[in-house]
Structure 1
Amino acid sequence: MSKEHIIPDPIRAGLARGWDVVDASGLTEDRSMQADVVIVGSGAGGGISAEILARSGLSVIVVEEGALLSSRDFNMREAEAYPSLYQESAARKTADKGIDILQGRTVGGSTTVNWTSSFRTPPDTLAWWKRRHALPDATPESMAPWFEMAERRLKVGDWQAAPNENNDILRRGAEKLGIPTGFIRRNVNGCWNLGYCGMGCPTNAKQSMLVTTIPAALDHGATLLTRARAERFAIRGEHVEELVCQALDTQGLRPSGRVLRLRARHYVVAGGAINSPALLLRSEAPDPSGMLGRRTFLHPTVISAAIFPQRVDGWAGAPQTVYSDHFLHQAPVDGPMGYKLEAPPLHPLLMATKMSGFGAHHADIMREFPHTHAMLALLRDGFHEDSQGGRVALRADGSPELDYPLNDVLWEGARRALLSMAEIQFAAGAREVLTGHEMAPRYASWAEARRGIAGLPQRLHLTRVVSAHVMGGCAMSGDERLGVTDANGRYRGLANVSVHDGSLFPTSVGANPQLSIYGLTARLASGLAAALTGRQAAPLA
């Protein structure tokens, strides 16, 4: 019996019900469309906004550059998933090629391919935003109802199964050192515990925008445009008159030559913290604060792998179920850079492209794949006075690029993080530790690793740095000098444009950001719906 007979496909069922979905790659002529609201992007911010606005009785068009895929397309194969579901085939990099960036590019955005980790915005981050960026609602109390709404809608809850070995190694090693850990809440419903979340959920258990808010918006009359690239806003004075989109070819890569012109009362930019600033830059949008595309933040992430006597099988079982925030709280938020520890899933291509070395050395590491454990340290950037983040700029062809210089504050934090991870891995019984650094040997003991990592030069292209979290670039602030957007997500200088995604964050979050985006955009979209309709917004179902 085929997978399609075992697992219901909500996308196929919705299309059969008559959803209004337009695959722009099939257009044979230019097209104009109109709605109350046009939303650019179908990820965390765009999906939440689409459901709330459509349920509130507004006509909505959602524009997505990627394709509409579903569980029947998700075959747990890296070679298929990365080109079809990720920006630049999962090979997006910063301008200097020093940081690899994983971002989604499909209906549902990164929520379709993330690892389901669900954290509310940390209180110390909210306190910083309230104090430094004049955001009065940036408190746990003010945000709690919006987080609760999103958590109910997306089935965010405690993971009931035991952690897989990859995660339990983090727990056991930390426990031996007296380092507290916790269990990560996940947005899943009926999870099969497969471990292939990053390739699209083949069972529809992950409660991504693909199977929750986008279908709900379509059931309430929204229109979804796929393989359509939002090129620029046509601006007259302080208003956007239309959004000009390019239809893409069937591969979703090159313009087909067809143009879509979308007119609306209001426009919501939710393309993510690289693509959202880029759209506004291409549109030559007003920039009164001079901050558009600036102070873009990652969680720069360093890696430590370890070889264990027992099989780890890091690809099997739910990813990222154990974490430690111990090293986030050893100094003030604006002091030496803190970091969050997590254990990512391991798959052959992902591991091969993220591990250091080449040739025989790299081949030897890959032979140990079943016995390999991995740990990540997510560095919390944007709080120290020397941490100004990166800048989104446009290449000659108008495509976006993130320049992200790494300073001494970050490199010092990276060294401490590599030491912390190696110590935990040896405490858990590692035979060897493979630090994510081009000059690091395979350390056989904690004493050897401690000496070796202390002496490693921390610099670009030597220390392996990755990230899946991009934030900022359209920062919100009650102070017009500091914010591209105001406290309600309204774009300063354009009366009918809002931003509803992670580009709003004034700093990095210090935790996996999806739930922060869900909660914040639920509040902003509800306020926008009320402003446009003159009545209370409909909640997420």
Structure 2
Amino acid sequence: MTTSTSFSKTSLAAHLAAALFPAGEILPAPEPHQLAARVAGYVAHRRTHRWLLTAGLQWLEWRSLPHLHRRFSRADVAQQRAVIETLSNTLFSSLLLRLLSLPFRAAYVLEEERASHMGMPRIQVPAQTESFRWQQQVTHASELDGEHTIEADVVVIGTGAGGAAAAYELASRGLAVVIIEEGDWHDRRHFSGHLPDMLRRLYRAFGATITLGNAFIPVPIGRNVGGTTTINSGTCMRTPPAVLARWRERFGLAALTEDVLAPWFDNVETMLRVTQAQRRYVGPVGDLIERGARALGLTQVAPLQRNAEGCDGQGLCQFGCPTDAKQSTNVSYIPRALERGAFLFTGMRATRLLRDGKQAQGVLAQGRDANGRRVTLRVEARATVVAMGALLTPLFLRANGVRNPHLGRHLTLHPCGVVNAVFPDIDLHNGRTIPQGFAVGDFAEQGLMFEGCTLPFAAHGVLSALYGAEFVRFAERYAHTAYFGFMLRDTSEGRVRRGIHRDLPWISYRMNKKDFALFLRGIDTLARIYFAAGASEVLVPGPRQLVSLRSVTELDAFMARSHRPSDFLITAYHPLGTARLAADASDGVCDVDHRVHGWQGLYVMDGSNPPTSLGANPQITLMTLASRAAAQLAETLTETGA
């Protein structure tokens, strides 16, 4: 009997499915056993996920005893919904319930018939894509066997914003470059928009990386060729001049002036084809936000700059672009690096730094062949560039002998808040517009940047904290629900340590009072923008509830209450700073040229480099810094010779 079949016949899973999703006005109730079978399919090939799901169901079965005096599966559906409502209002149980319900929500909203009820267009995935000569220089672990040793001038670990830009710059200057990537290569044929499949293919740990502190903050990161650039929204912003000035003054990075970086910014923006988002694909939300913002006297309202020339607004940026309009590094930098002679090995995890004392000499990487046996790749190189991202780079460096008091510390996140609003008479074209295409920048210098537009229908349902009839009603209002958010230039700092699993580092982060005050200002301002635009209802989501406000008076009363960070839905997408740049080793991990202090041949070029929070979406900054540093490295290696 297959896992899917046995699971679908488990009464407990079917009971939960029935309790979670009653029939609505538009959406019919799902058949419980069929939905349970779909959930089973999501975890069929993942032993750990099957175990966690089974454990979660058993927790719910027995957690119901104090409330119902019977197990969950022995109660009627009304009682089951009542206990779910009770558990959703407690701190720890609400978190467990939300995690348990997540695959059930996904199965519910991803059903094609349900999406068609909501008027969602089907994603057009190409049957085939073009073939290029450079693809011959991509080797997956499954194509190898045993142990292999190769030599290179530089080995780059990671293909995200920093690693890809560095690899391109190094290869363009005639150096022999080998790129190691733990994830797989995917092209637009794979970008179907099917949430479980995209999470499995493109995200590390299914997007489950999360901070622990005075709020649980999800920090999803990519694991694929392209890294997090494949799953970001494509927003392109240069490093604010005030931030560069602080780096020069506080960290001694005198070389990082606007004049020095200007040509590098230009090169990056040319490579990414940066242009302003088209208003027709921003959608009605942009018009509403502009109307409300201007009514409040705000003036810096405009479509965002993006790396997606030719975007047709399918709204899938976070799950891979099916048209290749978005110039994530799997489309831009990596192919061009390969065209210039670089070699890419995918499905290979860097496990050990090759070194002689503090002289880096390359890297050892491991993967699995077609039969599941371990394969080893030894890359001997004159220089090693670590570009694994702000959450993993410090762990790799520490595990391989780097000792610095700042390593793994000073983590900033750009914490993000979201406020929804209901416009019952307006079709907002959700699911047919750019996920993040419009901005209000009046408070950017104060550390508060408003950005947003829409989410796919699947994400709309999966991210909700509601259950039962309220969840179904919320899902049915998708076409009339506006999404917009904001991010903070945070002064709070966190720390990254090794976790219980390599995919789940221990990330600690506490939002300080200054940042939380700014966060509350973001909630208040965005709610007022919505009301000024004519919203009938403003919704403030939290991990345990969705607060509904119907007037400015109710908003004032809500803002006058005492709040904590854990009361709000906070997410983050820009981890930075854990191997920060500084002129002196007493102040940071890497010097201005990105070389690890005290080491030879060891460099870091990724999101761990920025010494402070940016207050701007970071991919342009990371590519610019990495391009400049790689050019410096290429010059050094060329001068020293073979």
What TM-score do the two structures reach when normalised by structure 2? 0.76
Q: Partner residue of 1:524?
A: 629
Aligned-residue offset at 1:398: 4.8
Q: Partner residue of 1:418?
A: 523
After superposing the two structures, state which structure 1 stretch, 57-66 or 179-188, moved more.
179-188
Aligned-residue offset at 1:231: 1.7
Q: Partner residue of 2:346?
A: 226
Q: Partner residue of 1:183?
A: 303
Q: Secondary structure at the match of 1:355?
A: coil
Contact 2:438–2:453 (Cα < 8 Å) also in 1: no
1:194–1:398 Cα change, 3 Å: closer
> Following superposition of structure 1 onto structure 2, how do residues 387-402 of structure 1 map, counting pairs within 5 Å?
387=492, 389-399=493-503, 400-402=505-507
> Following superposition of structure 1 onto structure 2, how do residues 496-515 of structure 1 map, counting pairs within 5 Å?
496-515=601-620
CA deviation map 1:238-282 (0-9, x unaligned): 11233122215789xxx8533222211000011111111121122
Contact 2:435–2:452 (Cα < 8 Å) also in 1: yes
Q: Partner residue of 1:280?
A: 397
RMSD: 2.2
Greater RCO, 1 or 2 (C-alpha within 8 Å, sep 6+): 1
Aligned-residue offset at 1:229: 1.1
CA deviation map 1:15-48 (0-9, x unaligned): x556221211343312222211000100111111
Tell me, in whole angstroms, the C-alpha distance in 2 between the residues paired with 1:167 and 1:532: 49
Q: Partner residue of 2:541?
A: 436
Q: Secondary structure at the match of 2:323?
A: coil
> Aligned pair 1:57/2:174, yes or no?
yes
Q: Partner residue of 2:80?
A: none
Structure 1 residue identity aligned to 2:559: I
Q: Partner residue of 1:379?
A: 488
Q: Secondary structure at the match of 2:608?
A: helix
> Aligned pair 1:403/2:520, yes or no?
no
Structure 1 residue identity aligned to 2:632: G
> Following superposition of structure 1 onto structure 2, how do residues 298-447 of structure 1 map, counting pairs within 5 Å?
298-309=413-424, 310-330=426-446, 338-382=447-491, 387=492, 389-399=493-503, 400-437=505-542, 438-439=544-545, 441-447=547-553
1:3–1:373 Cα change, 3 Å: closer
Q: Partner residue of 1:238?
A: 358
Q: Partner residue of 2:204?
A: 87
Contact 1:415–1:458 (Cα < 8 Å) also in 2: no
After superposing the two structures, state which structure 1 stretch, 63-72 or 345-354, moved more.
345-354
Q: Secondary structure at the match of 1:291?
A: coil
Structure 2 residue identity aligned to 1:206: K
Q: Partner residue of 1:112?
A: 230
Tell me, in whole angstroms, the C-alpha distance in 1 between the residues paired with 2:248 and 2:370: 45
Tell me, in whole angstroms, the C-alpha distance in 2 between the residues paired with 1:21 and 1:54: 15
1:397–1:4 Cα change, 3 Å: closer
Structure 2 residue identity aligned to 1:70: D
CA deviation map 1:68-104 (0-9, x unaligned): 0101111122232121111211222124570011211
Counterpart of 1:75 (choices 192, 196, 215) is 192
Query: How many residues end up aligned between the 2 structures?
Result: 512
CA deviation map 1:143-200 (0-9, x unaligned): 1111001111111122344331223322221111111213211112322232211111
Contact 1:282–1:398 (Cα < 8 Å) also in 2: no
Q: Partner residue of 1:100?
A: 218
Tell me, in whole angstroms, the C-alpha distance in 1 between the residues paired with 2:134 and 2:221: 31
Contact 2:134–2:335 (Cα < 8 Å) also in 1: no
Which structure 1 segments of 5+ residues have no match?
331-337, 536-541
CA deviation map 1:123-160 (0-9, x unaligned): 11111111111111333222111100111111112234
Contact 1:343–1:375 (Cα < 8 Å) also in 2: yes
Tell me, in whole angstroms, the C-alpha distance in 2 between the residues paired with 1:264 and 1:57: 15
Tell me, in whole angstroms, the C-alpha distance in 2 between the residues paired with 1:403 and 1:256: 35
Tell me, in whole angstroms, the C-alpha distance in 2 between the residues paired with 1:116 and 1:397: 30
Contact 1:274–1:401 (Cα < 8 Å) also in 2: no
Q: Secondary structure at the match of 2:565?
A: coil
- Asked which structure has the greater CA Rg, the reply is 2
Structure 1 residue identity aligned to 2:338: L
Contact 1:159–1:185 (Cα < 8 Å) also in 2: yes
Counterpart of 1:128 (choices 246, 266, 273) is 246
Contact 2:125–2:192 (Cα < 8 Å) also in 1: no
Q: Secondary structure at the match of 1:321?
A: strand
Which structure 2 segments of 5+ residues have no match?
1-123
Aligned-residue offset at 1:494: 1.7
Aligned-residue offset at 1:506: 0.8
Higher helix share: 2
Contact 2:420–2:482 (Cα < 8 Å) also in 1: yes
Aligned-residue offset at 1:117: 0.6
Tell me, in whole angstroms, the C-alpha distance in 1 between the residues paired with 2:233 and 2:501: 32
Q: Partner residue of 1:169?
A: 288
